[in-house]
Every structure is written in structure tokens, then in C-alpha cells.
């Protein structure tokens, strides 16, 4: 049996009781922290709470060579992931591989950043369009910096329908956790190249450390927000589209947004 368990958002206590029971009962416990991670804890603290050794898996172990899956043929295996295990991950592939090997699978859900963002900002979940991800720029073979324009295009398309865009930020082994500040700078660089008015007049909302005692939620014009100190990771960004009156009020009152946001009410 392979049990996918979402760990929630911030520390070892965010796991559900059902998840905790399943980890305690497991013969083997694996975890991946490259799609997301819990910044308020460490593997050692998790192991203490679970009373189990946690084997850390790389992207390679999960997506290309999941040899460890074989253990789930005759043992109870728990596979842990930050947030909800199936939200903005490709772990359905792992589940399908397991099922093809004749291994039974089940899911134990965890709180996800996708729902936390609606809760913290007041932006309604059903008014979001397609999500985007911002990767770190890379160097082309000619040695020039290449910035992905895909997130800019996704924001542009969602905005044309009045929809909000949730923007996931890169987690890179070498470069670290991308901040809201870097993400906004990259989007504004694309704006100055393309000049289509998607970001320069946009209000954005940055969120840091959802699930912690003191999450930071700050709304403002992209240009102003790019210098704001959001503190430690993880960070995520939202670019709102048209706003319902209550959403606009929440951004002003709960996210310290500029009063002009009220002009964006549909
Ligand atoms: C690829 S998504 C995976 C989402 C995860 N499976 C979930 O359900 O929450 C990971 C990205 O979401 C954002 N994120 C995840 N947890 C967060 C948190 N607690 N606070 C702020 N941003 C977070 C970061 O931008 C991070 O790089």
C-alpha cells in the first residue's frame, strides 16, 4: 500500500490526525521537499513526532527512478509532500505507476497554499484563472539572460477575463527560494520589453509564510511592492483581476493595499 500524505503548510503539526496515524503505522516513510517544503520545521523534528525515520527523495528519485516504490508491494509505505500532495505537483504520475505495478494507493489530504491564499487575501477561489509559475532566469548558449515570458502571458490572459492569477515561485537547489521581490522584478522586466501594460498598472499581492503564526500579506502596485520586505520564505504572488466589493475591501483592510484598489471593482 502506498499512502500519499499532504503535510500542510508550515511545520510538523500541520499534518492531519489521519495523516499522522498513517505515518505512525507505516513500515517505511519517504518525503520529497522539492515541490514545496515546511519552513517551520526540520526532518529531525518530524522524525521525533512520527517516531519514524524519514527517507528524503530527490526529484530524480520521484520522477525518473522511483525504485523505492517496489517496497510498497508488500509493505505500508507513506509518501509525504508539503501542502496537498496532488496540488501543483506531478505526483499523479507516481500514483499511476504504483497502480500499474498492482500497488494499492490512497490519499490523505493536507492544507494547500492554493486555499490558504484565498483565506489570507480575501480573494475568492472561484475567481482565479490558470495558475502560473515563475522560474529563475537561465543563461542561453550565447551567454544572455533568458527570462520566461509564460507567466506574463498567463496573467495577461486571465486579466482579459477579469480573473485573478496565482503565481508559484521557483524553488531551486542552488539559487534557493524565489522571493516576491525577485518575481515582481522579473515580471516588470518582461513588461518593459513587451510594453503591453499588464504589470505596470497592476496591483499585486505578496504572501509570505502562509500557515505560520505571522504570515505577511501585502497588496500594492507591482512597482512599489518590489522593494517591500516580506521576510523569510516561502513566498507566493497573486495578481488580482477585477474585484468584487468584498475582495477590494479585504485587500485594503487586511492586506494594507492602496485605496485606489476600490476603483478596480467590477
Ligand atoms: C509547486 S507549489 C506546491 C503546492 C503544494 N503542493 C500545496 O498544495 O501547497 C509550491 C510553491 O507554492 C508556494 N508556497 C507553498 N507553501 C507556501 C507557504 N506556506 N507560504 C507561501 N508560499 C507557499 C511557493 O511559491 C512554493 O514555491
DSSP E strand boundaries for the chain: 2-6, 28-32, 54-57, 77-81, 105-108, 132-134, 138-139, 145-146, 165-169, 171-172, 176-177, 203-208, 216-221, 235-239
As a whole number of angstroms, the distance between CA 145 and CA 73 comes to 46
Q: Are residues 106 and 48 in the same domain?
A: yes
Q: Are residues 153 and 249 in the same domain?
A: yes
pLDDT at 25: 98
Other residues' Cβ atoms within 10 Å of the Cβ of residue 39:
18
Rg of the chain (C-alpha set): 20
pLDDT at 262: 84
The pTM of this model reads: 0.96
Q: Are residues 80 and 197 in the same domain?
A: no
> Which residues lie below 8 Å from residue 193, measured CB to CB, with a gap of 6+?
none
Domain boundary among 111, 143, 168: 111
Q: Are residues 99 and 231 in the same domain?
A: no
Q: Are residues 158 and 57 in the same domain?
A: no
Structural domain boundaries, residue 69: 2-111
Evaluate: CB of 211 within 6 angstroms of ligand 1.
Answer: yes
Query: Following DSSP, what letter does each residue of 70-102 receive, concatenated?
Result: GGGGTS-EEEEESB-TTTTS-HHHHHHHHHHTT
Q: Are residues 148 and 251 in the same domain?
A: yes
- The CATH number covering residue 255 comes to 3.30.950.10
Q: Are residues 151 and 104 in the same domain?
A: no
Q: Tell me if 255 is assigned to a ligand binding site.
A: no
Domain total in the chain: 2
pLDDT at 200: 84
As a whole number of angstroms, the distance between CA 200 and CA 193 comes to 12
| Mutation test residue for ligand 1: of 113, 128, 131, the one with most atoms within 8 Å of CB | 113
pLDDT at 84: 98
pLDDT tens track for 49-97: 999 999 999 999 999 999 999 999 999 999 999 999 999 999 999 999 9
Q: Are residues 248 and 131 in the same domain?
A: yes
Q: How far apart are the CA of 113 and the centre of ligand 1, in A?
A: 5
Q: Are residues 236 and 222 in the same domain?
A: yes
Domain boundary among 111, 133, 168: 111
Amino acid at each position: 500500500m502506498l499512502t500519499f500524505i499532504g503535510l500542510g503548510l508550515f511545520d510538523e503539526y500541520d499534518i492531519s490526525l489521519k495523516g499522522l496515524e498513517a505515518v505512525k503505522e507505516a513500515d517505511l516513510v519517504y518525503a520529497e521537499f522539492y515541490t514545496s517544503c515546511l519552513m517551520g520545521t526540520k526532518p529531525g523534528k518530524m522524525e521525533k513526532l512520527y517516531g519514524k525515520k524519514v527517507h528524503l527523495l530527490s526529484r530524480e528519485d520521484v520522477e525518473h527512478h522511483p525504485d523505492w516504490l517496489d517496497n510498497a508491494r508488500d509493505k505500508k509505505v507513506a509518501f509525504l509532500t508539503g501542502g496537498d500532495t496532488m496540488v501543483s505537483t506531478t505526483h499523479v504520475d507516481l500514483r499511476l505507476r504504483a497502480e500499474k505495478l498492482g500497488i494499492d494507493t490512497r490519499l490523505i489530504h493536507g492544507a494547500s497554499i492554493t486555499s490558504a491564499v484565498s483565506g489570507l487575501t480575501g480573494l475568492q477561489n472561484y475567481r482565479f484563472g490558470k495558475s502560473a509559475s515563475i522560474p529563475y532566469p537561465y543563461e542561453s548558449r550565447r551567454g544572455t539572460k533568458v527570462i520566461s515570458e509564460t507567466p506574463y502571458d498567463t496573467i495577461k490572459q486571465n486579466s482579459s477575463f477579469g480573473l485573478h492569477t496565482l503565481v508559484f515561485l521557483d524553488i531551486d537547489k542552488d539559487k534557493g527560494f524565489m522571493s516576491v521581490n525577485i518575481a515582481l522584478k522579473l515580471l516588470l522586466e518582461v513588461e518593459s520589453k513587451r510594453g503591453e501594460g499588464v504589470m505596470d498598472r497592476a496591483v499585486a499581492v505578496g504572501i509570505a509564510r502562509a500557515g505560520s503564526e505571522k504570515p505577511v500579506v501585502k497588496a500594492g502596485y507591482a512597482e512599489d511592492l518590489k522593494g517591500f520586505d516580506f521576510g523569510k520564505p516561502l513566498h507566493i504572488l497573486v495578481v488580482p483581476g477585477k474585484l468584487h466589493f468584498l475582495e477590494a475591501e479585504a485587500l485594503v483592510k487586511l492586506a494594507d493595499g492602496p485605496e485606489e484598489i476600490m476603483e478596480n471593482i467590477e
